[in-house]
Structure 1
């Protein structure tokens, strides 16, 4: 594909930062990862941040830190990557889904409340709810948080798309309305560490547990050990943990990228604004942005209207791909995946997710995407499609 839907932006400064670590005494578990964690924590105005090797790992230890176990129930959005649900299954819990809002494509608070009312009657309330900030726009966290107080569930914000975004004027990740927030640093995300993620919290006990779980369940704090240390080498495995640590090489890249975070998000907004202008006279649904939100614009999703008789959703997708434009679809509803489908989910229970899936196309958006490239992308949506039209690629 000549134009991917997303791509990393690596500078000479990034390369230098990683090279310095490669020439240092520490490739992993050195001083750089804690610096990266501290920078993100300060930026988000949160007490604790724990870097891990992927956002999937962050979601896993977040569930474990909140005590998710067999027979518990975890609810999330069906329009997300499978990791948002898999993390609960890793803990032996049961997963269910809450349908999305028709405008934002995030978890709908009204549908969440309706589902909670029924679950309370049946005695099957969730232990944890995982709202997903799709495309970089925050869910209505005030409403979801209010419901958590009434129905007694904890909240993990899956903000894999959303670092650099804001909700109610405050940085996403501050955990004002949740116990834990998770970021992703995959190469197509806002900033990258190659592979990597981070879990943030304001709760010291939750933070200490996540810190242990990412490193084999090991505790090195002499103040909380079960016995007097045998010597300065001593450590204790408190619980069964995992090797989910981030390396200093990754941390160096992340710390260097972080310095350009606001610039990256600002450029994504400019690209989104240009798309909106280019699409203003075309029968396509462009992203809705709520007044309470400043999206990170990880993704730019448009929807092919069902009344657009001249071309189907699939035909539009194929046309773009065949023209060298690396469009994607974020996401196939999780309950449609074969692994989940056998659990008995009914697509009819999620009408908005089904409608979204039948119309959504993710267009390229990343720093460096040019206005000329955007115009070429948008031309494919014009109606009628020009006969014999040739791209300039």
Structure 2
């Protein structure tokens, strides 16, 4: 048993980040202000996007993006079921229909070949998901979208600092990033929309703050312009500066954060390969840089001797946190009871999604971990398997 519980994740914050929050608190401007403006600028520099808009969460980013695109009743949105529930919830709450696409068996990301048969006259949007820190194969998906004149929105919640074929995620199209507490870069809660489209960015910026023509923080007047008017009904999804400032220091350290995650992941790869019934995800076969947001294994109960849920319970008994990313949305209570697959998808099963949803398990991975922690996790897995001769 470890002296302290080893959590699944822990934010990569240091004393300078904490001091920066204190500085904002003393500044007199703690809501959306100059730190958000700086964060948007730095996200653009990192991703290669022309525009970035910070928001209170990635869920807010999804809501406003669907709103800006006019997604509503009668529309279909193609996206994986093996994703976080917020995407499907937002599509459903907009009155649209989520059309679940399967994923490739070993990367757990979808592909153009899986998406293509699901496209119908009602398809108004495709949302591919970058998974666990690896990039989805974008070129064929964008080509498919162009062929059918369907917009592509990248769910990049896991992908900050990730690259696809030499380009940062966010350098093309429109991407939604998460800055939640467990992400590689965090603002505690938060999200970002990046885009190359000035009009789209302005629309998201307006929707995030009541539909007003300007934000509460005007970059020139440093306050709210008295003539600001509601252009359209909007929401209250702005990010406070006391949150935004947390990310600025982390962004400066992002290369080191990714390097440490990669180092730990490679050690995991070596040690986990020795344990029967445990298999990691495969790396994509196209050029990419993995940012290792999650360390995911699949547990084969026929070989390992217990299922994923039992394993998570056993790991907890040994002081090790573990999680599930994700249980397929279409298998969850509300969607099991209320969702009906569109007629044109009835012959297109979610075989890989359902198989992996039962087996995936996320192991601890964060920059403050040591190699000794990784060895403890893998040695514990070997002991749970029942083979004490497997040495890390």
Output the TM-score relative to the length of structure 2. Answer: 0.90
Question: What's 2:162 paired with?
Answer: 165
- Determine if the alignment matches structure 1 residue 56 to structure 2 residue 59: yes
Q: Cα distance, 1:145 vs. partner?
A: 0.6
Deviations 1:157-178 (A, max 9, x none): 111111011111111111x2x3
2: CA distance, partners of 1:277 / 1:309:
18
Cα deviation, residue 34, structure 1: 0.4
Query: Contact (CA 8 Å) 1:182, 1:198: kept in 2 or not?
Result: yes
Matches within 5 A, 1:256-335: 256-283=249-276, 284-290=278-284, 291-308=286-303, 310-335=305-330
Match of 2:139 among 139, 142, 156: 142
Which position in structure 2 is the counterpart of 1:77?
80
Query: Shift of residue 5 of structure 1?
Result: 1.0
Question: 1:380 matched to which residue of 2?
Answer: 380
* Uncovered stretches (5+) of structure 1, i.e. residues with no partner: 222-230
- Hey, what's the Cα distance between the residues in 1 that align with 2:309 and 2:19? 44
**Cα distance, 1:13 vs structure 2:** 0.8
- Spell out the pairing of 1:364-375 with structure 2 (5 A cutoff): 364-375=364-375
* SS at 2:194 equivalent: strand
Q: Relative to structure 1, is the Cα distance of residues 360 and 220 closer, same or farther in structure 2, using a 3 angstrom cutoff?
A: closer
Aligned to 2:359: 359
Shift of 1:74: 1.1
User: Within 5 A, what are the aligned runs for 1:3-18?
Assistant: 3-18=6-21
> Corresponding residue for 1:183?
177
- Matching residue of 2:118: 115
Farther-moved stretch of structure 1 (51-60 vs 149-158): 149-158
Alpha carbon RMSD of aligned pairs, Å?
2.1
CA deviation profile, 1:170-227 (whole Å, cap 9, x unmatched):
11111x2x3x201111111001101001001001111111010001111039xxxxxx
Q: Partner of 1:67 in structure 2?
A: 70
* TM-score, normalization by structure 1: 0.89
**What aligned pairs does 1:158-237 form with structure 2 within 5 A after superposition?**
158-174=155-171, 176=172, 178=173, 180-220=174-214, 233-237=226-230
Q: 1:211 to 1:232 in 2, by over 3 A?
A: closer
The answer to whether the Cα contact below 8 Å between 1:81 and 1:334 also exists between their aligned partners in 2 is yes
Deviation track 1:87-115 (CA, whole Å, cap 9, x = no partner) reads 22232211111001112101232111122
SS in 2 for 1:136: coil
Q: What does residue 101 of structure 1 align with?
A: 104
Displacement, 1:386? 4.3
Q: What does residue 252 of structure 1 align with?
A: 245
> Residue in 1 aligned with 2:235?
242
**SS of match in other structure, 1:14:** helix
Matched positions, count: 371
Counterpart CA distance in 1 for 2:13 and 2:81 is 32
Between 92-101 and 374-383, report the one with greater CA deviation.
374-383
1:58: how far off?
0.7
Q: 1:317: Cα distance to partner?
A: 2.5
Instruction: Tell me the secondary structure at the aligned position of residue 134 of structure 1.
Output: coil
Q: Which moved more, 1:304-313 or 1:266-275?
A: 304-313
Is 1:55–1:185's contact at 8 Å kept on the other side of the alignment? yes
* Aligned-pair CA distance for 1:130: 1.0
Larger displacement relative to structure 2 (280-289 or 45-54): 280-289
